[in-house]
Each structure stands twice: as C-alpha cells, then as structure tokens.
C-alpha cells in the first residue's frame, strides 16, 4: 500500500523511545469486506524499552496496554499473579513454527563430514533444557516444516520416493530405509550412551583424543568451535551443550555480538556455528531456493547458512516453486525436509505453538484467532459495539 494511503499514517516520532500512528481518514479500504472490523483505534503508539522487565513494569503502571512475553519462566510466574486491570492470555497458533536451530557452517573443514554433525547433535540434550530451563513449555522441533502433510515422517514412499530415487548415490542410505528421529533422554542430564556414540562417530571421521582435546591428524588441528549469538537468552540454552562437548574434547567458545556485527558476520558466512531460524508457511514456494540451493550457498546475504550444495535439493526447490498440484508440492516439501534432516545441517531446538500476552482488560480480542495468532489490527476497546466486529 503506498505511503499515506494505508489505514494509519505516521504522527510523531520520539527517537529511541516511541513512534505514534493516527488513523487515516482517507484510507480507501475501510469499507471493503476484507477490512470490516479491523483498524479500530484512533491512535497507536509503540514504546521502546532496552530491558523487557522495565517494559513489564510499564504495563503494571498502565503506561502501556499490551506486552508479549518471550520468557517461559516469567510467563509461568507472572500469569499466576492477580493483577488488577490486566489479563494473561495464551493464544494458539496454527501456522508452522519457525525452525530454530544451531547451524553448522559446512564450508568449514570441521563440519564438512556429516558424521561430525550427527555426533554434535547427539550431544544436545533437549529434554534436560526443556525441563530445567524452559519450564517444560516447549516442544522439540522435529522438522523444517512443522505442519501436517509437509513434514517428513516414516520412510519415503509413493510420489516422494519417486522424487528421491534418482539421487540415491548422493543421499544417505538411511534416508530411504529409516525414519528420522532425534535422540531423546529422560531429562536427568545423563546421556553417557549418546556421548559414547558421538565419540565413536568422531573417531570414524578422523578425530581422536590428544590430551584433553580432540585432534585431527590429517588436518593438523584441534576441534575448536566459535558459536555466534545475538540473543542473550540463548546463552543458557547452550550451557549444557558446551559441557557435553567439553567431555568429548571439543572446545566451544561463545561470542555474543550486537545485531549489526552479527548480521555482517553471517552475511559473509563468517562463522563456525550460530543460532538462527527459518520461517515457513503452509504453502512453501520459491523462497526455498534462497534458503537451500547451491546458488544461494555461494551468494553472500542468502539464508543458506549451512552452505548446502546438493543436486537433489536444487531439483526439489524448483519442483516446489513450480508446483501446480498440492500433492506434488507436499511430496516435494517432505522430500526436501527429509534431506535436510538426514544431512544434519543444524541441531533443531524448540518451538511453542502459542502467543503469550498480558493485556489491559479494556482491550478485546476476536474469539477465534487467525492461523497467525492475534495481531493489532484485529483488537478493539470494550466500548466498541462487539456485534459489529464479529468475524466468521
């Protein structure tokens, strides 16, 4: 929508503190059916805070009306507190959650062997992290396309198998004969059997103990990793992972960067490992080439962070982009998902299928949220005639 012709127009800007928008009386679409009941506020202000705890206190002081919670521990704690004038609400989402993972840069020699990447995947204990750090509120991400009919399950068959069969010489044999499953634990932090399995895989890949560290004789180097982070909350997620890697003889160094420095590094693929996410829709399309294709792997600024260069992937992203039949699309996405999982290009972390919101009781929400959850354009004040805002 051209600037100035949308439902709101910029009113005031207080740099670093707030931005305010006012309703545009000349908005061309207000009476269109698709906009019925939307954009119900005369004025909307976005307040900026450097600290999320300060933002929450601003909510309690009634300086703001809406606060989205991102911290599971604080969500558990705060929603139990009876706060006058405010409600806590969990809203279910129906879209595939973003794939959040610890990404391996396969352009680096240490991660060029899939056995190494699988070994490090074994060293991450999600069940312990979820139980002890995430309040048990999250699910382990099992797919790059976490949605029914899109994620790979079982073994490939039918149309999916037909798409994968021509590439049997370049894809892992297990992909055709086994269902992909991430390792599981009972959450007590004891994963010795998995670490022994990881140690065996590392030995097969040429890494052997030298003193307290792993050493690769052929490459002449110790196993050392730099992990880039931009979100401070991720530090606690990898504390146990770092400890497990140390047990294997791997030195993991964590580097927390500001957003600009982080973006510069990943744009140039200048990293060993980092944490990032890929968002997906219910109808994946040509963006998959930007995520996974061989061309993207060599294009600075693309989102093929792992550096995947796989002929089967290049073929499938083209099938997905040009699919004219839903069955073909879904089969190609499942086949692609299967290749990404069996390639161990990233360690899947976790996701939640909910939005956690604290809001003023005067703010009303539609009874049935969209697949995206709830968004500001759908809210209204309780004084507005509710009947005029009901949606199918």
pLDDT one digit per residue (tens) for the chain, 392 residues: 455 578 999 999 999 899 999 999 889 988 899 888 899 999 999 999 988 889 999 998 989 999 999 888 788 888 877 677 888 888 888 788 899 999 999 999 999 999 999 999 999 999 999 999 998 989 999 999 998 899 999 999 999 999 999 999 999 999 999 999 999 999 999 999 999 999 999 999 999 999 889 999 988 899 999 999 998 889 988 999 999 999 999 999 999 999 999 999 999 999 999 999 999 999 999 999 999 999 999 999 999 999 999 999 999 999 999 999 999 999 999 999 999 999 999 999 999 888 999 999 889 988 888 887 888 898 998 754 554 454 43
**Which single residue is written with the structure tokens 């002081």?**
61
User: What pTM did the predictor assign?
Assistant: 0.83
> Helices 192-204 and 114-122 sit at what angle, rounded to 10 degrees?
170
Q: Are 180 and 344 in contact (CB under 8 A)?
A: no
Angle among Cα 310, 313, 316 to the nearest 5 degrees reads: 155
**Which single residue is written with the structure tokens 């009386």?**
25
Bridge-based pairing of strands 273-278 and 224-229 is parallel
**Which single residue is written with the structure tokens 């200048």?**
270
**Three-state DSSP class for 270?**
coil
């Amino acid at each position: 929508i051209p600037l100035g012709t949308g439902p709101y127009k910029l009113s005031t800007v207080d740099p670093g503190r707030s931005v305010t928008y006012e309703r545009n009386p000349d908005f061309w679409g207000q009476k269109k059916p698709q906009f019925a009941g939307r954009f119900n506020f005369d004025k909307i202000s976005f307040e900026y805070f450097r600290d999320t705890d300060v933002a929450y206190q601003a909510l309690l002081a009634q300086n703001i009306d809406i606060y989205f919670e991102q911290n599971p521990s604080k969500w558990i704690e705060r929603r139990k507190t009876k706060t006058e004038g405010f409600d806590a609400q969990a809203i279910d989402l129906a879209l595939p959650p973003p794939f959040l993972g610890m990404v391996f840069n396969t352009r680096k020699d240490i991660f060029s062997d899939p056995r190494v990447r699988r070994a490090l995947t074994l060293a991450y204990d999600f069940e312990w992290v979820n139980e002890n750090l995430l309040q048990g509120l999250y699910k382990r991400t099992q797919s790059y396309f976490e949605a029914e009919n899109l994620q790979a399950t079982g073994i490939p068959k039918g149309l999916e198998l037909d798409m994968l069969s021509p590439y049997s010489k370049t894809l892992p044999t297990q992909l055709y004969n086994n269902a992909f499953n991430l390792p599981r634990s009972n959450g007590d932090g004891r994963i010795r059997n998995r670490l022994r399995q990881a140690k065996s895989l590392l030995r097969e890949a040429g890494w052997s103990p030298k003193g307290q560290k792993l050493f690769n004789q052929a490459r002449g180097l110790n196993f050392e990793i730099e992990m880039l982070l931009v979100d401070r909350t991720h530090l606690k997620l990898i504390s146990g992972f770092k400890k497990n890697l140390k047990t294997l003889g791997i030195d993991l160094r964590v580097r927390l960067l500001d957003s600009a420095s982080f973006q510069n590094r990943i744009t140039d693929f200048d990293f060993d490992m980092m944490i990032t996410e890929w968002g997906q829709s219910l109808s994946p399309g040509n963006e998959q080439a930007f995520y996974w294709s061989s061309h993207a792997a060599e294009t600075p600024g693309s989102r093929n962070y792992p550096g995947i260069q796989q002929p089967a992937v290049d073929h499938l992203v083209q099938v997905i982009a040009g699919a004219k039949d839903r069955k073909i699309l879904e089969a190609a996405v499942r086949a692609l998902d299967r290749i990404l999982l069996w390639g161990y290009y990233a360690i899947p972390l976790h996701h939640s299928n909910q939005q956690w919101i604290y809001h003023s009781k005067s703010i009303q929400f539609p009874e049935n949220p969209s697949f995206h959850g709830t968004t500001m354009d759908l809210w209204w004040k309780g004084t507005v005639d509710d009947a005029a805002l009901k949606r199918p």
